[in-house]
Amino acid sequence: MTRLIVVSNRVSAPVDPAAGSAGGLAMALSAALRKYDGLWFGWSGETVETFTGELTVEDRAGVTVNLVDLEAQDVDEYYNGYANKTLWPLFHHRVDLTAYERSYGEGYERVNRRFAETLAPLIQPDDIIWVHDYHLIPLARDLRRLGVTNRIGFFLHTPWPARQLLVTLPHHRRLVESLFAYDLIGFQTQEWLDLFRDYVISEVRGELAGYGGLEAFGRRVRIGTFPIGIDVDGFVQARDSREGVRTYDRMAASAAFRSMIVGVDRLDYSKGLEERMLGYEQFLRDHPDLRGDVFLVQVTPISRDEVDTYQDIRARLDSLAGRINGEYADMDWQPIRYLNRSYRRDQLAGIYRAARVCLVTPLRDGMNLVAKEYVCAQNPEDPGVLVLSRFAGAAEQMGEALLVNPFSREEVADAIHRALTMPLKERIRKWRSLMKVVEDTDVGLWRDAYVGALKSVEIAGQNGDLPHAA
């Protein structure tokens, strides 16, 4: 039987299916593995003095995970360095924050090679391998060098950068060339796919090769868009669970007849958190009559706190939230509740359901599953309104949201006001359209579309050439 092997930097399959990250990616991959027998391979999050490649095997809610420890130097150069200080800001169009250090690139290559050497003995002849995200771009190349001829696919969860920005990366050509060791490259949106294709054709003189194919570096790869979704049935169950209902009741009571606005984002400069708070402040300034009638709950779990830029943005957000509360708060009202902690998925579902408005305003984002979770959590008879950045991947699908330019505080403020005053009939119409998108892009459909496309790829011939897409 064909197994599915999922590979990612961190293995985040939750022990408790009701718990999950704000965006729900862990739930998405876990759902995929529960349908297709196999395993999830990645870094344990732990460090050892000397890398050994020794594996720890666990069962997490029906998902087999294989974990490997890394050296402290690996974490510093590969994860904190190249992944989070080089590729992440570059892929989100923040060249001003991108660090180009030779040691980071060396660590990135070293860890991908170590992942390949540890993973290769686990691979059986009929397995298909699904590699996730920018941390592991060279992994297929390193597996091929070890003789692995299985179908290998890659899915990018972030945006792909514009060619004019990508060429600022030292050895950018080598990075892109390594992607051609995959059989299938998946992107969240047509925009990210078009940017990748533009680089290949313009920079390395690649060519289109049939439907959905690209040829360059003497190899051919299939490319496609596979917009990720959420586990709709699982999220509805979480929403209607005892804890989900209890959280909704608590938040509704806490609102005290006020309208609640919610934002749920990992702490990151790509999420537009400062711009969101400034837009909300503009709304308070423009509509003094509504002060006291509305409040913002911003849930922002801390992430990547070892990276300087994340420490900086945390300090700025703390200061900004404090300043807005200091200027506008009253004895019985605080305009912003800023929470630096994580919540379970069932609790988030209750929070979403209680919110009249959800602000999803990234400056650039691969998809953004919070937008889909918020829609899924709503009461069909009295739904809230989604305010969505046009620079989120979800905007390509969710045109019935109130699309905004997050760089314009006035535009964000106007959207908040429109959302709060939108008639019930219009809210229901918009919600029905958005909910159809959520259901039509359910994680099960995403999973089946990607795995089906990968299964259809022709494997290598007997001449030892690298595999290529049909």
* DSSP-assigned letters across all residues of 277-301: HHHHHHHHHH-GGGTTSEEEEEE--
The whole-angstrom distance between residue 401's C-alpha and the CA centroid of its chain comes to 19
Does the pLDDT of residue 338 top 60, yes or no?
yes
Identify the three-state secondary structure at position 40: strand
pLDDT tens for residues 30-51?
767 877 788 999 999 999 999 9
Q: Which residue has the higher pLDDT, 342 or 395?
A: 395
Residue 188 in tokens: 């969240």
Give percent above pLDDT 70 in the chain.
Answer: 93
pLDDT of residue 125: 93
Q: What is the DSSP letter of 67?
A: E
Whether 365 is a known active-site residue: answer: yes
The H or E element spanning position 260 is strand 259-264
Does the pLDDT of residue 276 top 60, yes or no?
yes
Q: Which residue has the tokens 């892009």?
A: 441
Q: Which residues of 166-185 are buried (b: 16+ CB within 10 A; e: fewer)?
A: beebeebbebbbbbbbbbbb
Residue 442 one-letter amino acid: D
The H or E element spanning position 56 is strand 55-60
Of 438, 385, 387, 383, the residue nearest 234 (C-alpha): 438
Q: Give the integer Cα–Cα distance in Å for 296 and 276.
A: 10
Mean pLDDT of 462-470: 37
Q: Which residue has the tokens 């868009």?
A: 225
Confidence of residue 256 (pLDDT cuts 50, 70, 90): confident
For residue 283, the number of C-alpha atoms closer than 13 Å in the C-beta half-sphere is 27
Confidence of residue 459 (pLDDT cuts 50, 70, 90): low
Alpha carbon distance, N-terminus to C-terminus of the chain: 23
Q: Which residue has the higher pLDDT, 309 or 253?
A: 253
Catalytic residue among 133, 265, 268, 365: 365
Q: Give the integer Cα–Cα distance in Å for 13 and 33.
A: 10
Does the pLDDT of residue 22 top 50, yes or no?
no
Give percent above pLDDT 90 in the chain.
Answer: 82
Confidence of residue 24 (pLDDT cuts 50, 70, 90): low
Out of 12-26, 89-103, 307-321, 411-425, least confident range: 12-26
Contact 146, 118 (CB under 8 A): no
Q: Give the integer Cα–Cα distance in Å for 353 and 338.
A: 18
Residue 255 φ then ψ, to 5°: -65, -30
Contact 336, 277 (CB under 8 A): yes
pLDDT tens for residues 355-400?
999 999 999 999 999 999 999 999 999 999 999 999 999 999 999 9
Of 275, 248, 264, 283, the residue nearest 419 (C-alpha): 283
pLDDT tens for residues 132-153?
999 999 999 999 999 999 999 9
The H or E element spanning position 10 is strand 4-10
Pairing between strand 55-60 and 128-132?
A: unpaired
Whether 157 is a known active-site residue: answer: yes
Residue 308 φ then ψ, to 5°: -55, -45
Residue 374 one-letter amino acid: Y
Residue 222 one-letter amino acid: R
pLDDT of residue 65: 94
Q: What is the pTM of this model?
A: 0.92
pLDDT of residue 91: 98
Contact 196, 223 (CB under 8 A): yes
pLDDT of residue 465: 45
pLDDT of residue 16: 60
Cβ neighbours around 70 below 10 Å, total:
22
Phi-psi group of 56: left, alpha or beta (phi > 0 → left; psi -120 to 50 → alpha; rest → beta): beta
Q: Give the integer Cα–Cα distance in Å for 443 and 346.
A: 18
Q: What is the DSSP letter of 160?
A: P
Q: Which residue has the higher pLDDT, 447 or 246?
A: 246
Catalytic residue among 157, 172, 268, 346: 157
Mean pLDDT of 404-428: 98
**353: Cβ–Cβ under 8 A, 6 or more apart, which residues?**
239, 244, 248, 377, 378, 379
pLDDT of residue 393: 96
Show the beta-strand stretches assigned E in 364-441. Answer: 385-389, 402-404
Of 58, 53, 65, the residue nearest 6 (C-alpha): 65
Does the pLDDT of residue 224 top 80, yes or no?
yes
pLDDT of residue 463: 30
Average pLDDT, rounded, for the chain: 92
Residue 327 φ then ψ, to 5°: -80, -35
pLDDT of residue 464: 36
Does the pLDDT of residue 21 top 60, yes or no?
no
Mean pLDDT of 279-285: 98
pLDDT of residue 17: 55
Q: How far lies 152's CA from each of 118, 124, 175, 468, in Å?
A: 16, 13, 17, 10
Pairing between strand 219-225 and 38-48?
A: unpaired
pLDDT tens for residues 108-135?
999 999 999 999 999 999 999 999 999 9
pLDDT of residue 25: 63
Residue 399 φ then ψ, to 5°: -70, -15
